[in-house]
Amino acid sequence: MAAEPQPYTTVILDIEGTTTPITFVHDVLFPYVKDHLQGFLADHWEESECVSKVHALREQADKDVAGGLDGAVPILATEGAPAEQVRQSVVDNVRWQMSIDRKIGPLKALQGYMWRSAFESGQIQGAIYDDVVPALDKWTAQGVDIYIYSSGSVEAQKLLFEWSEKGDLLKYFKGHFDTGVGLKIERESYEKIAQTIGRDPATLLFISDNVKEIAAAISANYQVAIAHRPGNAPLPSPAPGGGTVEADFDSITLPDAHDVPVIRSFAEVFTRAAFATSAGQRFKVDDLIHLETMFEELGREDGLRDGVHAGHVEGRVAGTEAGFAMGQEAGFYGGVADTYLKAAEMGLITPSDRGLKALQSLRVQAKEFPRQNYTNPDEGPDPTVALDKLRARFKVVVSALGPDALNLRYKPEDGVRQPMNF
Ligand SMILES: [Mg+2]
């Protein structure tokens, strides 16, 4: 039996889907850039910050065009054409980059610059659910520390809360975390946060709409609650009235899914002093079968996405199909590593030290598999070389795991997952 959870001393909040509608970024922030770019450039064209942002965009555009990147839109030289035409080429370039959902430095810098100006001038206000400020007040009165953990940069988080529709909320927060501490679906990130703020994880309450994040926080022994807001991704069959999740997905990752509370309003948080933790609970073998499927699918999902990215966006070397296949294969190896490490952690398999080390290296290598085809080795590894290394590491894993890894191999032609022989 799990120990009685203790009251939490600290709350860590996700933003999108938790304090703020999940649609805010896609319905407000991104359209703002698309709709206001032309006028914004005209208004700020001579300012040094604008000049330097455009300069960085042009350098990137030159690289993209020189590299033969599919659909790349050139940016005219400032001295080569009337300002209006140059600006139009910037607009066309940025719209193209945003149409392929690029997350590259120069584009992000321009977006951040425009958003800052939009927030500061009041053209955009951070959307905040009505129950948030009362909850922040109550926690503050109770002496509960409040932090933010979001994949949006700390700078962007602060803009949203400083210039929110409910006024400046920054005073409530003791600190902010972004993916600088690690991805939100990884246990290590939550461990690092607990260390950084100097608290026992069991006294931290993490609230998010994303069940993968919730699962990661539970594995770091946090207390958790799932925020269920209008417009969020549906939780698999949530029980009416809050309280339980009866979900395939959750039963996979959460040791006792029925103890994970779903809240529809922050007010519900105050109806209990503490929330379930995973302490002392064990996965069931049945769950593990789901776990295996999930991890592999996650790996594949990532792989597919990266593959598509490598193929379509940066596919100078591999070309579309090769990029796709490479991403898929790398995703498979990552899924294997995650699954076996999880199984070992749960005591379902007991790999040798060598096996464990090999799995950990495989996981790291799969995670670091290049997201694009770098033309210059100083910028990043060549994906073909990286894939060869992954395959070699995978062989080491298979041999080190021995009977646990019988028949484990990548068979893309089947398009199906391999049995994992737990
Ligand atoms: Mg979220």
pLDDT in tens, 129-172: 999 999 999 999 999 999 999 988 888 899 999 999 999 999 99
Q: How far apart are CA 245 and CA 238, in angstroms?
A: 5
Confirm if 365 and 331 have CB atoms less than 8 A apart.
no
Inform me whether the pLDDT recorded for 416 exceeds 60. no
Quote the pLDDT of residue 420: 38
CA of 149 to the centre of ligand 1 (A): 9
pLDDT score of 378? 67
Q: What is the pTM of this model?
A: 0.59
Q: Ligand 1 mean position to 21 CA, how many Å? A: 9
SS3 16: strand
Higher pLDDT, 263 or 42: 42
Paired tokens of 119: 């927030």
Is 103 one of the annotated binding-site residues? Answer: no
pLDDT for 197: 97
More confident residue, 145 or 269: 145
Determine contact, residues 54/75, Cβ cutoff 8 Å: yes
Tell which residue, 308, 354, 313, 350, has the closest CA to residue 327.
308
Query: Of all residues in the chain, what percent carry a pLDDT higher than 70?
Result: 75
- Residue 308 predicted with pLDDT over 90: no
What is the predicted pLDDT for the residue at 323? 61
Neighbours of ion ligand 1 (CB under 5 A): 14, 16-17, 209-210
- Give the number of residues written for the chain: 422
Helix H or strand E segment including 122: none
Going through 191-317 in order, the beta strands assigned E by DSSP cover 204-208, 223-227, 262-263
Single-letter residue type at 215: A
Q: How confident is the model at residue 5 (pLDDT cuts 50, 70, 90)?
A: low
The whole-number pLDDT of residue 121 equals 93
CA distance 52 to 71: 24
Q: How confident is the model at residue 242 (pLDDT cuts 50, 70, 90)?
A: very low
Tokens of 112: 């951040």
Which stretch of DSSP H or E encloses residue 62?
helix 48-66
Distance 169 CA to ligand 1 centre (A): 18
Beta-bridge partners for 204: 10
Q: Which amino acid is at 201?
A: P
Distance 150 CA to ligand 1 centre (A): 7
Q: How far apart are CA 243 and CA 89, in angstroms?
A: 53
For residues 233 and 281, the model is more confident at 233
What is the rounded CA–CA span in Å between residue 258 and residue 333?
31
* pLDDT exceeds 50 at position 23: yes
Domain boundaries, the chain: 10-20+127-271, 24-120, 285-414
292 in a labelled binding site: no
Asked if 300 contacts 332 with a C-beta cutoff of 8 angstroms, the reply is: yes
Rounded-to-integer distance, Cα 218 and Cα 203, Å: 12
Three-state SS sequence of 318-373: CHHHHHHHHHHHHHHHHHHHHHHHHHHHCCCCCCCHHHHHHHHHHHHHHHCCCCCC
What is the per-residue pLDDT for 413? 52
Give percent above pLDDT 90 in the chain: 37
CA 42 to centroid of ligand 1, rounded, Å: 35
Go through 287-298 and write b for each residue having 16 or more CB atoms within 10 A of its CB, e for each that does not: bbebbbbbbbeb
User: Does the annotation flag 14 for ligand binding?
Assistant: yes
Q: What's the pLDDT score for residue 258?
A: 39
What's the CA-to-centroid distance between 49 and ligand 1, angstroms? Answer: 31
Residue with tokens 């796709």: 324
Specify the higher pLDDT residue, 402 or 40.
40
Residue 178 assigned as binding residue: no
Assess whether pLDDT exceeds 80 at residue 176: yes
In the numeric block, the tokens 């609970």 are attached to 281
Q: How far is the CA of 179 from the centre of ligand 1 (A)?
A: 13
> CB-side exposure of 66: number of CA atoms within 13 Å?
7
- In this prediction, residues 202-213 reach a mean pLDDT of 89
Determine the distance separating the centroid of ligand 1 and the alpha carbon of 17, expressed in angstroms.
4
CA of 165 to the centre of ligand 1 (A): 19
Which pLDDT score is estimated for 324?
Answer: 63
What's the chain's average pLDDT?
78
Least confident segment among 63-77, 83-97, 351-365: 351-365
Q: What is the pLDDT of residue 26?
A: 83
In this prediction, residue 281 has a pLDDT band, given cuts at 50, 70 and 90, of very low
Distance (Å) from CA 330 to ligand 1 centroid: 27
On whether 145 is known to bind a ligand per the annotation, the reply is no
CA 227 / ligand 1 centre spacing (Å): 9
Residue 37: pLDDT band with limits 50, 70, 90? very high
Give dist(CA 394, CA 337) in Å, integer: 9
What is the C-alpha to C-alpha distance for residues 78 and 53, in angstroms, rounded to an integer?
Answer: 13
pLDDT band at 1 (very low <50, low <70, confident <90, very high): very low
- Determine the topology of domain 10-20+127-271 in CATH: Rossmann fold (3.40.50)
Res 3: pLDDT: 54
| pLDDT above 80 for 317 | no
| pLDDT value of position 40 | 96
Alpha helix stretches (DSSP H) within 67-186:
83-99, 105-120, 132-142, 154-162
Average pLDDT over residues 380-409: 79
Most confident of 83-87, 308-312, 369-373, 415-419: 83-87
Distance between first and last Cα of the chain: 25
CATH class of segment(s) 24-120: mainly alpha
Q: What is the pLDDT of residues 357-374, one digit of tens each?
A: 888 888 888 888 876 666
Give yes or no for residue 296 having a pLDDT over 60. no
Q: Does 297 count as an annotated binding residue?
A: no
- Give residue 177's region: left, alpha or beta (phi > 0; psi -120 to 50): beta
C-alpha distances (whole Å) from 406 to each of 60, 82, 351, 391, 421 are 47, 67, 13, 16, 7
Question: With left for phi above 0 and alpha for psi between -120 and 50, is residue 221 left, alpha or beta?
Answer: left
Mean pLDDT lowest among 83-87, 193-197, 291-295: 291-295
Average confidence (pLDDT) over 351-357: 86
pLDDT category at 181 given cuts 50, 70, 90 is: very high
What's the whole-number mean pLDDT along residues 398-422? 59
